[in-house]
Amino acid sequence: MTKILLQTTIPHAHDDWHIGRYSLLREVLASMDGVEVTARDREPGSGADPILTSLGESDFDQLWLFGADGGNGLSSAECAGITAFARRGGAILATRDHDDCGASICTIGGVGPTHFFHTHNLDPDPSRRCRDDQETTSITWPNYHSGSNGDFQRIALAGDVHPLLRREDGSAIEWFPAHPHEGAVGVPPGETAARVIATGRSQTTDRAFNLVVALEPTPNRGRAISHSSFHHFCDYNWNTAAGCPSFVAEPPGDELQRYPERLNDIRTYVRNAARWLSA
């Protein structure tokens, strides 16, 4: 049995990106043979969430972590617990969003340094420390505009086709859900067991940006995956009728309705990720 924890970095709040907004992801994972899924938000209070601080001693095999905080979500004790989980071989998928959204994950061993934020773990390339999306002026860099919520982005392979990106027939996955302002991920200096496996392209500037980083296991960590945006996985970007928090101001696109078959790629990717992380 593979035990997967779906976990946000925020306490439950109805008008936010709480764990209930990942119900479709949970359904895909729970439908897999031999997979048990637990989904939860961070407990409010002292910064000593009992599950996260003791994750290294838990029987979870995988952590899928959704960084929805404004930079002050996880405490140092909680990050230490997650780092201990990684060090004992636990596998992690970590994702965040624009600007400093999810920046509390950046000190987690292994996966944290692959996420670049506005004020933490800045992108090693100074030319990328600039605004991409020009429409939502309240959100600053990194904010790559891959398309409207409710639309799709065509991904590009980086290097050889990674097992995460193969369909069952052997062809490569082509489509991810789009988002108007994705964050930044990459391979930090000194990291030798990770590579970018997929990139997107800005609909504003036509600039390529990294979508996914895959990290191979080392003596100090298990396998890991880093994503530029949790919107690749949340209900709203798989079905806009599921709704979103009131602070989402951008009008959604309609490609989900016009090309529903493209969702098969992100579902395939999710199943691939669950298998690869535990391989």
Note the pLDDT of residue 45: 86
Note the pLDDT of residue 77: 97
The conformational region for residue 20 under phi > 0 = left, psi -120 to 50 = alpha, else beta, is alpha
Q: What predicted TM-score, i.e. pTM, was given to this entire model?
A: 0.98
Per-residue pLDDT tens digits for 179-202 = 999 999 999 999 999 999 999 999
The CATH number of 2-277, from 2.40.50.460, 3.40.50.880, 3.40.50.2300, 1.20.1630.10, is 3.40.50.880
Report the percent of the chain where pLDDT is more than 70: 100
Per-residue pLDDT tens digits for 45-78 = 888 999 999 999 999 999 999 999 998 999 999 9
pLDDT over threshold 90, residue 83: yes
pLDDT over threshold 90, residue 40: yes
Per-residue pLDDT tens digits for 251-264 = 999 999 999 999 99
pLDDT band at 120 (very low <50, low <70, confident <90, very high): very high
pLDDT band at 276 (very low <50, low <70, confident <90, very high): very high
pLDDT over threshold 90, residue 28: yes
Note the pLDDT of residue 46: 82
pLDDT over threshold 90, residue 249: yes
The whole-number average pLDDT for the span 70-98 is 97
pLDDT over threshold 90, residue 148: yes
Closest CA to 35 of 272, 195, 218: 272
pLDDT band at 177 (very low <50, low <70, confident <90, very high): very high
What's the CA gap between 6 and 27, in Å, rounded? Answer: 12
Structural domain spans, the chain:
2-277
Report the percent of the chain where pLDDT is more than 90: 98
